[in-house]
């Protein structure tokens, strides 16, 4: 039974003629009407929701990552680290969502697979943007976005701009360590190539963390981010293999072999190499 003071409280918060309600603020009518299965198959709702949830986490990641990159450019390491920690937490949530999706069997999936034709996560512009921000620059990956000029423009900008790792290396140079010009002024539209001098600079940071504490902490945060990204790739691959085996992907790639090759990608190579050097 409600106590009288609860009722008073409720009355004060039931007039939404003048005030924004929870649903209005969060635009829940739009969000909750955006799940439109194309079949009657029970599991199609799960499939749509998991993709949408991951896209929302990606949206937050892009928001945090771009702000963290701007702060790092200005040399503000601490607040950037806080944002990168949030990126890591979002990645963990994305990883957890595979557990829910894995409850769908191959037979469940086949109930609705034909309905979405050639649509594939391969065409996710947010995912590609995150890859570009992290530095996995593959210009041909822009092709699936030609039909959406606003997405294409966003990707083009990120392709031409320094990645998170480029910005980190500029900071390392600004703190007096030796990063060669060929690395600092490279063609940003290509992936970073491992460099012996960069490796030596990180080695100095890891040998003397007390002298380079901010850089040391930043380096470990970058390793956290890449570690989590690898886990996402691996969880996706395993989920895909258990659901579609070695069938071709809806986006037109070979499917599992394509995803397995992506496991070889290294975003911040010298940060992994330095572990061997120590």
Residues that bind ligand HEM (CB under 6 A): 50-51, 54, 101, 109, 120-122, 124, 127, 236, 239-240, 243-244, 249-253, 255, 258-259, 262
**What does the alpha-carbon distance between residue 115 and residue 40 come to, in Å, rounded to a whole number?**
11
Three-class SS string for 38-84?
CCCCCCHHHHHHHHHHHHHHHHHHHHHHHHHHHHHHCCCHHHHHHHH
What is the closest distance, in whole angstroms, from the C-beta atom of residue 48 to ligand HEM in the complex? 10
What is the closest distance, in whole angstroms, from the C-beta atom of residue 53 to ligand HEM in the complex? 8
In whole angstroms, how far apart are CA 222 and each of 65, 68, 113, 259? Answer: 11, 12, 37, 22
What is the closest distance, in whole angstroms, from the C-beta atom of residue 149 to ligand HEM in the complex? 21
In the complex with ligand HEM, which residue's Cβ is closer, 127 or 134? 127
From 165, 164, 157, select the one nearest 189 (Cα to Cα): 157
What phi, psi does 269 have (nearest 5°)? -60, -45
In the complex with ligand HEM, which residue's Cβ is closer, 102 or 182? 102
What is the closest distance, in whole angstroms, from the C-beta atom of residue 240 to ligand HEM in the complex? 4
From 49, 47, 33, select the one nearest 113 (Cα to Cα): 47
In the complex with ligand HEM, which residue's Cβ is closer, 180 or 251? 251
The C-alpha torsion from 232 through 36 and 112 to 142, rounded to 10°, is -50
In the complex with ligand HEM, which residue's Cβ is closer, 108 or 156? 108
Strands (E), the chain: none
Task: Kindly tell me the burial class for residue 187, based on how many C-beta atoms sit within 10 Å of its own C-beta (0-12, 13-18, 19 or more).
Answer: exposed
In the complex with ligand HEM, which residue's Cβ is closer, 154 or 218? 154
In the complex with ligand HEM, which residue's Cβ is closer, 3 or 36? 36
What is the closest distance, in whole angstroms, from the C-beta atom of residue 51 to ligand HEM in the complex? 5
From 117, 145, 148, select the one nearest 131 (Cα to Cα): 145
Structure tokens at 9: 């409280």
In the complex with ligand HEM, which residue's Cβ is closer, 80 or 101? 101
What is the closest distance, in whole angstroms, from the C-beta atom of residue 65 to ligand HEM in the complex? 16
Number of Cα atoms under 13 Å in the Cβ half of residue 6: 3
């Amino acid at each position: 039974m409600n106590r009288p003071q609860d009722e008073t409280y409720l009355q004060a918060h039931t007039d939404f003629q003048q005030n924004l309600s929870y649903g209005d603020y969060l635009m829940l009518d739009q969000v909750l009407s955006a799940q439109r299965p194309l079949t009657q198959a029970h599991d199609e709702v799960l499939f749509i929701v998991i993709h949408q949830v991951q896209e929302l986490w990606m949206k937050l990641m892009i928001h945090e990552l771009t702000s963290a990159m701007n702060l790092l450019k200005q040399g503000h390491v601490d607040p950037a680290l806080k944002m990168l920690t949030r990126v890591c937490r979002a990645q963990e949530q994305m990883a957890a969502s595979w557990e829910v999706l894995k409850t769908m069997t191959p037979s469940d999936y086949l109930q609705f697979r034909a309905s979405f034709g050639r649509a594939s996560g391969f065409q996710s512009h947010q995912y590609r943007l995150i890859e570009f921000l992290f530095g996995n620059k593959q210009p041909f990956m822009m092709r699936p976005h030609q039909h959406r000029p606003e997405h294409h423009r966003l990707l083009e900008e990120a392709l031409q701009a320094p990645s998170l790792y480029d910005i980190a290396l500029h900071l390392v140079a600004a703190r007096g360590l030796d990063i060669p010009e060929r690395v600092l002024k490279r063609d940003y539209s290509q992936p970073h190539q491992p460099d012996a001098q960069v490796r030596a600079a990180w080695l100095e940071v890891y040998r003397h963390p007390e002298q380079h504490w901010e850089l040391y902490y930043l380096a470990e945060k970058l390793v956290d981010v890449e570690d989590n990204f690898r886990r996402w790739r691996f969880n996706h691959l395993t989920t895909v293999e258990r659901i579609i085996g070695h069938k071709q992907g809806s986006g037109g790639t070979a499917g599992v072999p394509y995803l397995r090759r992506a496991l070889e990608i290294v975003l911040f190579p010298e940060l992994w190499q330095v572990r061997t050097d120590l």
